[in-house]
Amino acid sequence: MEFNQQVVFVTGAARGLGLAFARAARDRGAKVYAGVRGSADFREPGIVPVQLDVRDTDSVRRAAATCPDVTLVVNNAGTARLSQGALDPDLGALTNELMDTNFHGLVRVSQAFAPVLERNGGGAIVNVLSDATWFGVTFLAAYAATKSAAWSYTNTLRISLRGQDTRVVALHVGPMDTDLTRDFDVPKSDPAQVASDTLDAVAAGAEEVLADAGTRTLRAGLGGPDAAFLRGGL
């Protein structure tokens, strides 16, 4: 995949990893659309803002219609809120709230852009997932559930889109140095590096990206008797 021949659409591109993806794709010569809720306020040279709220089906459909030349979609939009764990009485409501962005939003965007990608030769979809899929953290119970659902959908989507030559790439990543993790005193990856490494992997034909050492360790140990999901984390 030569990026100077690609047209990239990034959801949640106003900041953090989404903005890093948009910049990295632009710097490689791609045409880039930034899916943002406040498109009028977006000011980034060489990147085209497109109004998008992944929680709104009509907004997603309008974005797909506005960008008929897209060849690569990055499903980055996501949100997180802390919970009190598996017995939190508000866990169901919180999970539903996060699901609307982290899972249903990803589904809406994938379904809206799949026909666009097919018309443009197949292309690829990158779904931003999390290492929290693979281990239990009490205060991330709701968030982890949404990312587990997104991983499951990613695996099904990959099978469903092979017939149209659309590759589906799962990006698994731990904490990054973004607003989302500002208050966490843990090792964090540079989102610019994660975006760059992921685009390298997409160009090489990968279907899974493990963005940091911690994520690679978790992934490697899933089948072992001391797997992290049996012990919990943090």
Question: Would you kindly state where each structural domain of the chain is located, as residue ranges?
Answer: 3-231
- Residue of 195, 179, 35, 207 lying closest to 106 (CA atoms): 35
Average pLDDT over residues 125-153: 93
pLDDT at res. 147: 96
- Would residue 143 show up in a list of annotated catalytic residues for this protein? yes
31 φ, ψ (degrees, to nearest 5):
-80, 135
pTM over the 0.85 mark: yes
**For residue range 53-98, what is the model confidence (pLDDT) as tens digits?**
999 999 999 999 999 999 999 999 999 988 888 899 999 999 999 9
Q: Percentage of the chain with pLDDT > 70?
A: 94
Average pLDDT over residues 38-47: 90
Average pLDDT over residues 101-110: 98
- Residues whose CB is less than 8 angstroms from the CB of residue 142 and which lie 6 or more positions away in sequence, other chains included: 81, 83, 91, 94, 95, 97, 98
Q: 21, 103, 134, 143: which is the annotated catalytic residue?
A: 143
Q: What length is written for the chain? A: 234
What would the two tokens of residue 48 be? 């085209």
**For residue range 147-205, what is the model confidence (pLDDT) as tens digits?**
999 999 999 999 999 999 999 999 999 988 876 666 666 777 899 999 999 999 999 99
Residue, of 166 and 135, whose pLDDT is higher: 166
What would the two tokens of residue 179 be? 């607003």
**What secondary structure letter does DSSP report for 74?**
E
- Residue of 152, 46, 178, 34 lying closest to 99 (CA atoms): 152
Contact indicator for 120, 5 with CB cutoff of 8 Å:
no
Contact indicator for 63, 121 with CB cutoff of 8 Å:
no
- Residues whose CB is less than 8 angstroms from the CB of residue 185 and which lie 6 or more positions away in sequence, other chains included: none
pLDDT at res. 213: 92
pLDDT at res. 142: 94
Q: pLDDT band for 45, please (50, 70, 90 cuts).
A: very high
pLDDT of 233 > 90? The answer is no
pLDDT at res. 71: 98
pLDDT at res. 183: 64
Average pLDDT, the chain: 92
Q: Give the start-end residues of each E strand in the chain.
A: 7-11, 31-36, 48-51, 72-75, 124-128, 167-172, 208-210
pLDDT of 39 > 70? The answer is yes
pLDDT at res. 114: 98
Domain 3-231 fold is: Rossmann fold (3.40.50)
